[in-house]
Chains A and B, each alone.
Chain A
Amino acid sequence: MYQKFDVVIVGSGGAGLMAAMQLPNASVAVLTKVYPTRSHTGAAQGGVAAALGNQEEDHWKWHMYDTVKGGDYLVDQPAAEILTREAIDAVYELEHRGLPFNRTEDGRIDQRRFGGHTRNYGEGPVRRSCYAADRTGHMILQTMYQNAIKNEVRFFNEFLVLDLLVNDGQACGVVALEIRTGEIHTFHAKAILFATGGYGRAWRVTSNAFACMGDGMSIAYRRGVPLQDMEMYQFHPTGIYKVGVLLSEAARGEGGKLLNGKGEYFMERYMPTLKDLAPRDIVSRCIVQEIKDGNGVDGKDYVYLDVRHLGAEKIAEKLPDITDFARNYLGVEPITEPVPIQPTAHYAMGGIPTDTDARVVIDSQWTPMPGFYAAGEVACVSVHGANRLGTNSLVDLIVFGRRAGKHMAQFIQENDFAPLPEHPEDASREYIDHLYSSTGGESAARIRSELQNEMIDNVFVERTDKGLRHALDEIAGLQEAYQNVQLQDKGKTFNTELVEAVELRFLLDCSEATIHGALARTESRGAHFRLDYEKRDDVNWLKHTLAYRGTQAHDVRLDYKDVILIEDPIFKPKERKY
């Protein structure tokens, strides 16, 4: 079926819906492969940072400094300035739209501490995270969806986007599979926003939903758009042991501490100033180091998160959901027992390269692809650099989702519909038909499981040349095996086996780009830690990776673009200590 809209937004999380809010006078379609309120924004727990100064003195420039330093100086600094300045107004916008923030005694938005957020350029922790209990993302998602209903935004629920349509260098639509009927649809648009989130499901242990398969990144990559800084993937320190479900950094923001098998609060030893509130890349490495030193619990591969000293009342009031997770999935009572945790795959700092108006840029010269936008985790602006600070993902969604919406509003005024390419659905139909008709006997579930194990074994917190090469060979083999994936379900109606097979290809693409970036980057920076190159190397590597897809896993082409720094000496790259 053919449909036409001024703007098509793919993804109904915080970024997509925030963009939709900015387009009251346009025809807008939001396509989501789930229902909007199932989007993974809803799983964000801790808060959204903005220098409101409601609890103590704070300034956006301090927030910017923390963001740049937290990102180990791979952050484009003008983008970080926009992020932190506009965060303030964007948080007020959320409040005006109804978001039920926790409140201070005098009725203002309450704020709490979070990892890596400091006062006066690193002096000590600051209360900057605006929050709604430990379900801030849920509240953002609900509030944005409620406003979308108010604005009568048109939703296409349970539509899986398969392809981006590009004609003569201009984006002009998408092709999507309606999951309920198996029908293929073409959506013709002047502007397309990808807000499809991350790809945490590439790892066996992850905080991410089953939906986080790298859809948007892979689709863009297959249309010749490079993926930027994919080696910069965040492993959150406190995932529930084996399950991966996140226990928010808010637990440490409220005073929780990490405890090793010897009963030691070990972060004090590594990071004397910020201790347990050091940024996530550092805390995850410390946990891995403790485990390697034999300090895991009972010599195993986990340590504890300890919140016992906070007391039952504070835990119930400030951390109800994560307490529930520990009880439910581990049978552990956090009020009286420490909770077993391990690092868990959490967030892609990298993604589709964009400028600060969320326009997708396709090379090292910042050339935009007209009509194509990306925002949120799928995009790389780059405000997170080599390591994102806690709460800055939600800031990214609302600030750059909003900027995307505003820029698209202008773009659709100034531009007409670009014609669709001839036979726009052909590639997608051929691909889907192949999956239906294949008799290769291969199982998508097996391939996915091998991929997830390989990524945990060799593309995790610590990396080496040898391990990464092993992973690359493995991916090449899995991509070959993918050609033989065979479905048991041949039906058209709600074929989730088909959906999972399509998503597996997304995951394989994202993993391929991640490994190439990691293999080439012979330094350690932020979340990318190489055991064979332990030092950061600003002379050679203060630059962004751009990975272009080749014909197979081994022939990805890499290019680089400079990190944008500003004149102010306070932001000059220096050694990162906390």
Chain B
Amino acid sequence: MNILVRIKRYDPERDAKPYWDEFRVDVEPIDRLLDTLNTIKWTMDGTLTYRRSCAHGVCGSDAMRINGRNRLACKVLMRDVGKKVTIEPMLGYSVIKDLVIDMDRFFDKYRSIKPYLITHDNEPGTERLQSPEQRAIYDEGTKCILCGACTGSCPSIWGNPDWVGPASIVNAHRFIFDSRDQGGAERLNLLSNKDGVWRCRTIFNCADACPRNIPVTDLIEQVKRAIVYGGPEEA
């Protein structure tokens, strides 16, 4: 089938401002949108620029705004996009070139919530014990691939780029609710301010955008409750 692909282009060395470019591409229904971008790059316009790596939804490189929603280009099939598809860089980030956004600030925010296991006790000779139930409590957050789709879909980020954003909170949750971790209070303190969890207005865009189906908004709400009640609730 033949599809019209509209792409928002911007090359800082050539363009004063972004513009819309169009390509007509023959595709198979089960081609990924990433395959279509590759077809354009490899056979039509070598200057088209985007990130990609694993091509099956686990590395998080190719998050972009596809028909108005943040998706991974390698998880969207051409049969599902219609006769015309519109592709833009994600909102909420500065654009480096075409679909490539600057992720540095995103990763700075991730770092700010101390995304690592904090323990004060000596390590045992073998593994620390954790029951399957304790493990299940924080399972959802461990799926995060840091693609930035949730953060780039959030109106609170669009309005205030300093906000820590949903991805960072998901990763804070992953540790706050891990029975082995002893840094929960520290992280809750970091997140209890106007640029922390409270700028979340439960809009649910983040949960819709997540390519890993993480219930992002729920996890943020759990962190809010943990702040109010002084610690994670027992499941």
Chain A interface residues (CB < 8 Å from chain B): 34-35, 37-40, 42-43, 52, 91-92, 95-98, 100-109, 132, 135, 138-139, 142, 146-147, 149-150, 180, 209-211, 243, 245, 321, 324-325, 328-331, 443, 445, 449, 487-489, 491-497
Distance in Å from the Cβ of A152 to the closest Cβ of chain B?
10
8 inter-chain pairs at a CB distance below 8 angstroms, sorted by A residue, are A35-B146, A95-B127, A98-B180, A105-B131, A491-B97, A492-B13, A493-B13, A496-B41
Instruction: List 9 tightest A-B contacts by C-beta distance, closest first.
Output: A98-B117, A107-B129, A488-B46, A445-B42, A146-B116, A489-B47, A150-B116, A38-B59, A209-B54
Which residues of B does A touch, CB under 8 Å?
11-14, 30, 32, 41-43, 45-47, 49-61, 75, 77, 96-97, 100, 103, 107, 111, 114-117, 123, 125-132, 134-135, 138-139, 142-146, 175, 178, 180-181
Q: What is the chain B residue whose CB lies nearest that of A489?
A: B47
- Shortest CB-to-CB span from B129 to chain A, Å, is 3
Chain B residues, Cβ within 8 Å of A95: 127-128
CB-defined contacts of A210 to chain B, threshold 8 Å: 52-55
**Known contacts A98-B117, A142-B142, A329-B30; is-contact A494 B96 (Cβ 8 Å):** yes
Q: With the chains together, A108 CA to B129 CA distance in Å?
A: 6
**Cβ-defined contact, A209 with B55, below 8 A:** yes
Known: A325-B56, A494-B100. A37 touches B145 (CB 8 A): yes
The answer to whether B59 touches A43 (Cβ under 8 A) is yes
Separation of A139 and B178 alpha carbons in the complex (Å): 14
Instruction: Decide: B132 and A105 in contact? CB cutoff 8 A.
Output: yes
Q: Beyond A92-B127, A100-B178, A209-B59, is A40–B53 a contact (Cβ under 8 Å)?
A: yes
- Give the interface centre of B11, B52, B55, B129 by most chain A CB atoms within 10 Å: B55
B101 to chain A, nearest CB (A): 11
Question: What is the bound-complex CA distance between A106 and B127, given in angstroms?
Answer: 12
Complex: A243 Cα to B144 Cα, angstroms: 24
Asked if B58 and A35 sit within 8 Å, CB to CB, the answer is no
Closest to A96 in B: B123
A176 CB → nearest B CB, Å:
18
Q: What is the minimal beta-carbon distance from B55 to any residue of chain A, in angstroms?
A: 6
Residue of B nearest to A38 (CB): B59
B111 A149 Cβ-Cβ under 8 A:
yes
B53 x A211 contact (CB < 8 A): yes
Which residues in B have their C-beta under 8 angstroms from that of A325?
Answer: 56-57
Contact B46 A487 (CB under 8 A): yes
Cα distance A540–B142 in the bound complex, in angstroms = 50
A35 to B30, CA, bound (A): 28
In the complex, A512→B126 CA distance in Å? Answer: 45
Task: Decide: A496 and B58 in contact? CB cutoff 8 A.
Answer: no
Task: Choose one: B54, B126, B178; the contact of A42 (CB below 8 Å).
Answer: B54
Specify which chain B residues have a CB less than 8 angstroms from the CB of A104 in the assembled complex: 132
* Identity of the chain A residue whose Cβ is nearest the Cβ of B32 in the assembled complex: A329
A487 to B45, CA, bound (A): 10
Neighbouring B residues of A489 by C-beta, 8 Å: 46-47, 49
> Do B14 and A491 touch across chains, with their CB atoms under 8 A apart?
yes
Residues of A within 8 A of B175 (CB): 98
Q: Report the Cα distance A107→B103, complex, angstroms.
A: 37
Q: Given that A34-B61, A497-B41 are contacting pairs, would A146 and B56 also be in contact in the complex, using a CB cutoff of 8 Å? A: no
Considering the chains assembled together, what is the distance between the CA atoms of A407 and B128 in angstroms? 28
Contact B126 A92 (CB under 8 A): yes
Q: A107-B129, A445-B42, A488-B46 are in contact. Are A209 and B116 (CB under 8 A)?
A: no
CB distance from B167 to the nearest CB of A (A): 11
B96 touches A497 (CB 8 A): no
Distance between Cα atoms of A125 and B139 in the complex (Å): 28
Chain B residue nearest to A41 (CB atoms) is: B59
Find out whether the CB atom of B131 lies under 8 angstroms from the CB atom of A103: yes
Q: Give the residues in chain A near B178, CB-CB below 8 Å.
A: 98, 100
Q: Could you tell me if B115 and A40 are in contact, using CB atoms closer than 8 angstroms? A: no
Cross-chain contact A42 with B145 (CB below 8 angstroms): yes
Q: Which residues of A contact B14 (CB under 8 A)?
A: 491
What is the CA–CA distance of A353 and B117 in the complex, to the nearest angstrom?
A: 35
Cβ 8 A contact of B12, one of A106, A445, A493 = A493
By a CB distance below 8 angstroms, the chain A residues around B115 are: 146, 149
CB of B13 within 8 A of CB of A37, answer: no
Q: Which residue from A105, A209, A324 sits with its C-beta under 8 Å from B53?
A: A209
Measured CB to CB, the closest approach of chain B to A174, in angstroms, equals 21
Report how far A491 CA is from B47 CA in the complex, Å.
Answer: 9
Cβ of A102: which chain B residues have Cβ within 8 Å of it?
132, 135
Known: A98-B180, A147-B116. A328 touches B96 (CB 8 A): no
B107 touches A35 (CB 8 A): yes
Known: A34-B53, A107-B129. A98 touches B116 (CB 8 A): yes
Question: In whole angstroms, what is the CA distance A43 to B47 when docked?
Answer: 28
Residues of B within 8 A of A245 (CB): 55-56
| Complex Cα–Cα for A34 and B146 (A) | 13
**Chain B residues, CB < 8 A from A106:** 129
Q: Which of B43, B56, B126, B142 contacts A139 (CB 8 A)?
A: B142
| Contact between chains at B43 and A42 (CB < 8 Å) | no
Query: Beyond the given A209-B54, A487-B46, could you list 20 further A-B residue pairs with CB under 8 A, ordered by the A residue number?
Result: A34-B51, A34-B53, A38-B53, A40-B53, A43-B56, A43-B58, A52-B126, A92-B125, A96-B127, A209-B53, A210-B55, A245-B55, A325-B57, A329-B56, A329-B77, A443-B42, A488-B47, A491-B11, A491-B47, A494-B100
How distant is B113 from chain A, measured CB to nearest CB, in Å?
10
Task: Indicate the member of B13, B14, B53 with the most A CB atoms within 10 Å.
Answer: B53
* Neighbour of B130 across the interface among A35, A92, A103, A491, CB < 8 A: A103
- Contacting residues, chain B, for A132 (C-beta < 8 A): 142
Give the docked Cα–Cα distance between A69 and B102 (Å).
Answer: 48
**Closest Cβ–Cβ distance, residue A520 to chain B (whole Å):** 34
- Asked whether A496 and B30 contact (CB < 8 A) given A38-B61, A96-B123, the answer is no
Q: Which of A35, A107, A330, A497 contacts B47 (CB 8 A)?
A: A497
Least distance between B103 CB and chain A CB atoms (Å) = 6
For residue B146, which residue of chain A has the nearest CB? A37
Minimum CB distance partner of A33 in chain B: B53
